[in-house]
Chains A and B, each alone.
Chain A
Amino acid sequence: MNESGAPRSNRVGARVSPPPAVAPEGLSAAPTLPTASSEDRRELSVDDLFAPLAPESAGPTGLDEKLRQAYFWIVNHAIISPHYDIEFERPGAAGRSFALGDSAAELRLPSAQSYSSFVLLPLLTFAVRGRCLLLGGPGRGKTASAVLMGILAGYPIREVRRAMQHGHPQLTVTDMFGTPLPKDLISADSLGEVDVAWRTWLGMRVKIVDEYNRIPTRTQSALLTVLADGYVEVYDQIYSTGSSAWYLTANDDAGGGTYQVVEALKDRIDVVAHALPFNTRFLDQLVDRAARRLRPEEQVPEGIVFTEAEHDALDAAIRAMPLPADVRRRIEFFAAQLEFLERAGVQFEYRTKDTARLAGADVHQIAAQDTGRDRLSDVGTSALNGLSVRSLQSLISYSKAMAFFRGRPEVGIEDVRAVLPFVLHDKINPDLRAGVFDGDDGAPLRTDRISWLRGIFDDACAQYDTLDRDGSDSVGEILDELHAGLDGVDAASVRVRLARIERVLDSWSMARKLYGHLYDDALALKYAHQRYTNYLTWLSSNP
């Protein structure tokens, strides 16, 4: 006890921490995502007092911390984007929200660290080496954002600018990828002998195609091969580009531009980021930059530049991020709702929107034939198509990247919810004639696709909870039993399992309407039944 008789913690200033050291070039040495130290409850010993501390470098130079440092440097010094549209709430401490205006527009104040999608999504694309489409009107910072990503990869600003491909109506395949050497064109006896002078940008880890919707269709097709398969072919010569982060920009994604974008090219894009409008309250920063002739892309601190090895390690760390089964089940539940279209076929497997689409039929008209289904709560009725495998891969990849960026030990449902609207932006087409888009509440969703997608995911999660799918999942149990292997399982056990499958299907046929998640579950049960049937046949023939 001190002289005043008060314990130490009562003293003013006793808890004051030292001010964080701030390195030059605007990077704070303070951690971007401070976390509580976990306190051990056992009695502390002398050895505990002198046990080595976690190295300071573990935080500030960890790759997730470096990624966050890069994010905060960009939002504080480069792209003026004071938006926090990717919101996170602290568990158990939801932030406040306010209803503003006649329409009671909800403004939420998130209780946890939240982010600007326009800065964060390109950064996550850099981390996972994905393909990002930056959308927005001229002068909103799309190209600047893409250039910054090139600089984060360690390329000099001049090289990044030179490597940027500008879409224009006369852009040919050879303009874009490489030109055959004129000498070889004259002397070669076969195409294989024609050497191609490949453009240097093809080998870079960050590739930028500005105004990709102004590129002619034929060149778009060649671009598709590079985007999708990582190689380019000119005059029988193949150049492998390796994995890289792609940034494509467009002023208008709704059919504008000089050429319609090839559908397959659109499908290869992993994520769509919208440039948000400039907040005029931040005009002073623009004035200051102009006065100082400041160009942020020329001032990127060394501390946030990723070497090739770090970039590889970043990619590997994100891939290794665990995706827990309960989170995966919710993604499955959501995705299952979208593809199912009960009246599209006769055979069970063909009752999908894809069947209707391939037949050139109107999905909305077929969906309208369903009766007895709650059209507002059924997630699938507001979408014209389901999710492709590629979309699901993108969703998982970006969810992992989000969890990694937030310093989480594994992917949480909030990470999936955060990236899902941006990943599925161009992947799921809304059925604007569906009831969910009617009325005062639904009409704004016609134009705000992000909110619509997030809304249907929330609805699916709510249904998942209502059905208590975490607690009771007989199909999951049946599949787990099957995936545990059939070695040593005797015929009698197989018959018990087959009977269980049939009992589950029996119970469904008597009691339930057919919804998307049941449709996928039923097909999974058919798969399990078939595997057991084949195994039983094999057992019978090899007694």
Chain B
Amino acid sequence: MRAVEVAAQPGGAWRAWAVGRRAHVDDVLARAQAAGAARADLHGALWGIGVMLDGVATAGLPAGRFDALAEEVLARAAARVSAHRWHPHDPTTAVLLDWVPRLAPALGPEPAAALTDLITAVTRLRGTVDVVRWRDLVGVAMAGATDPTHLRGAVTVAAWRCGAVGWRAAALTVAADLPEHVLGGAARLRQGGSAAAPWEAPVGPAADGGARSVLARNAQDPWWWPGLTGPWRIGGFRGFGGPWVRIPELLGGDGLRWWVRTESAPTDGAAGADDIEPADSHGDVPPYRYWEVRADIHGSRAVPRPAPAGGDRPAWAAPSPSGAVAVRAHEHSYYLHVTRR
């Protein structure tokens, strides 16, 4: 594959860039092919990034920044193709094709570090958040930004907003450093938003505290969010995307975390979706599996834990935790049911 083939693509900034740097592009492509990239795969990848970069240029990215971005995108795409990992489910592919068009100006004049951040975060959280909404929220938050100063903060808040409950504390912390418009975009809190569309929760003007006051209240009550009143469900049957193959039994909690046990099942362990650390390493199958469930208004995550020493629950799990919501398990349900008190 050679740069001249890029020139065969419909005209645009990408074509002009590639033809103008023919020797360099040829060199990148030759190295990719030497590293195992198939010609057809390279062709497909270049077509995809070409369409994306043309769109970015049309949207008005300055020429200097376009050059730096094209250079970085080409190198990363070629590397992924060489590793046989260029496909829609690959985090790098998704970032280059879907995130970059929304964030190109915010990546700054030297986009390498920001791209690495995005790829790292998307790789780390894949499968635990709604990636499409996450991407859109970050795009909205960073609209108008010309440098990546607030990119990490926006990515973190948006990830939490889209279900990454593990990053709740990080998001609430970093939110304090974000400008109101970035925070409002990342948390999807729009002034004058429609109450009928909870996803676009309405908040008052910044003078009334705005998005910041919503987050402050949520920090006190993890199940409060404008427009959302519950009830909610946590967990679920593994066959339908939840963590469990046995009905959960709630043993305690602390308001943000809940301690749950399920009967052991033959599919736990090697064949199970979650690799569970054994409670007993001497050959006896333990009767129960224990789980720490972390949940708030935006998402939940159940993590298998070893059986607690000396009892059924760890010290932090109170049998009847206080708080704004009541969490219950039912004999007939794979969910934990959350209602406001």
Q: What is the interface of chain A, defined by CB distance below 8 A to chain B?
A: 1-3, 5-19, 21-24, 29, 34-36, 39, 43-46, 48-53, 56, 89-94, 111-113
Number of chain B residues close to chain A: CB under 8 A: 75
Q: Which of B234, B243, B282 contacts A91 (CB 8 A)?
A: B282
Bound-state Cα–Cα, A266 to B126, Å: 55
A46 contacts B295, C-beta separation under 8 Å: no
Given contacts A9-B299, A21-B83, 18 further A-B contacts (CB under 8 A): A1-B232, A8-B129, A8-B130, A8-B298, A8-B300, A10-B235, A10-B300, A10-B335, A14-B163, A21-B84, A23-B84, A24-B38, A39-B303, A49-B152, A91-B282, A92-B269, A92-B286, A93-B270
B323 within 8 A of A: no
A19 contacts B335, C-beta separation under 8 Å: no
Specify which chain A residues have a CB less than 8 angstroms from the CB of B235 in the assembled complex.
Answer: 9-10
Specify which chain B residues have a CB less than 8 angstroms from the CB of A14 in the assembled complex.
Answer: 127-128, 130, 163, 241
Bound-state Cα–Cα, A200 to B197, Å: 78
Q: Which residue of B lies closest to A56 (CB)?
A: B83
B269 contacts A111, C-beta separation under 8 Å: yes
Q: Given contacts A21-B87, A43-B170, is CB(A16)–CB(B127) below 8 Å?
A: yes
Q: Which of A8, A19, A36, A92 contacts B162 (CB 8 A)?
A: A8
Q: Given contacts A90-B269, A111-B269, is CB(A7)–CB(B163) below 8 Å?
A: yes
Bound-state Cα–Cα, A51 to B156, Å: 13
Bound-state Cα–Cα, A98 to B120, Å: 47
B283 within 8 A of A: yes
Q: Which of A12, A53, A94 contacts B285 (CB 8 A)?
A: A94
Q: Given contacts A7-B163, A91-B282, is CB(A19)–CB(B89) below 8 Å?
A: yes
The secondary-structure label for the interface of chain A is loop
A92 contacts B121, C-beta separation under 8 Å: no
Q: Which of B23-31, B53-61, B204-212, B271-279 contacts A (4 or more CB under 8 A)?
A: B271-279
A9 contacts B123, C-beta separation under 8 Å: no
Query: B64 to nearest A CB, angstroms?
Result: 26
In order of increasing CB-CB distance, the 8 nearest A-B pairs are A18-B89, A8-B163, A92-B278, A36-B275, A93-B269, A91-B281, A8-B299, A7-B300
Bound-state Cα–Cα, A537 to B333, Å: 79
The listed residue with most B CB atoms (<10 A of its CB), out of A13, A44, A93, is: A93
23 intermolecular pairs with C-beta atoms under 8 Å apart: A1-B299, A5-B232, A7-B163, A8-B129, A8-B299, A9-B242, A9-B243, A10-B234, A10-B241, A14-B128, A24-B84, A44-B170, A46-B174, A49-B167, A52-B120, A90-B278, A91-B281, A91-B282, A92-B278, A92-B282, A92-B283, A92-B284, A93-B270
B167 contacts A44, C-beta separation under 8 Å: yes
Bound-state Cα–Cα, A36 to B286, Å: 19
A36 contacts B277, C-beta separation under 8 Å: yes
B117 within 8 A of A: yes
Specify which chain B residues have a CB less than 8 angstroms from the CB of A43 in the assembled complex.
Answer: 169-170
Q: Which of B97-105, B179-187, B223-231, B247-255 contacts A (4 or more CB under 8 A)?
A: B223-231
Specify which chain A residues have a CB less than 8 angstroms from the CB of B143 in the assembled complex.
Answer: none
Q: Given contacts A1-B225, A9-B301, A92-B285, is CB(A46)–CB(B130) below 8 Å?
A: no
Bound-state Cα–Cα, A29 to B80, Å: 13
Specify which chain A residues have a CB less than 8 angstroms from the CB of B325 in the assembled complex.
Answer: none
Query: B182 to nearest A CB, angstroms?
Result: 14
B89 contacts A93, C-beta separation under 8 Å: no
A15 contacts B233, C-beta separation under 8 Å: no
The listed residue with most B CB atoms (<10 A of its CB), out of A1, A24, A52, is: A1
Bound-state Cα–Cα, A3 to B283, Å: 45
Specify which chain A residues have a CB less than 8 angstroms from the CB of B270 in the assembled complex.
Answer: 90, 93, 111-113
B277 contacts A1, C-beta separation under 8 Å: no
A49 contacts B170, C-beta separation under 8 Å: yes
B236 contacts A46, C-beta separation under 8 Å: no
B43 within 8 A of A: no
B281 contacts A92, C-beta separation under 8 Å: yes
Bound-state Cα–Cα, A50 to B273, Å: 26
B153 within 8 A of A: yes
Q: Which of A2, A23, A50 contacts B117 (CB 8 A)?
A: A50
A1 contacts B241, C-beta separation under 8 Å: no
Q: Which of B197, B285, B297 contacts A93 (CB 8 A)?
A: B285
Specify which chain A residues have a CB less than 8 angstroms from the CB of B142 in the assembled complex.
Answer: none
Kindly identify, within residues 1 to 39 of chain B, every residue whose CB is under 8 Å from any CB belonging to chain A.
36, 38
Q: Which residue of B lies closest to A29 (CB)?
A: B84
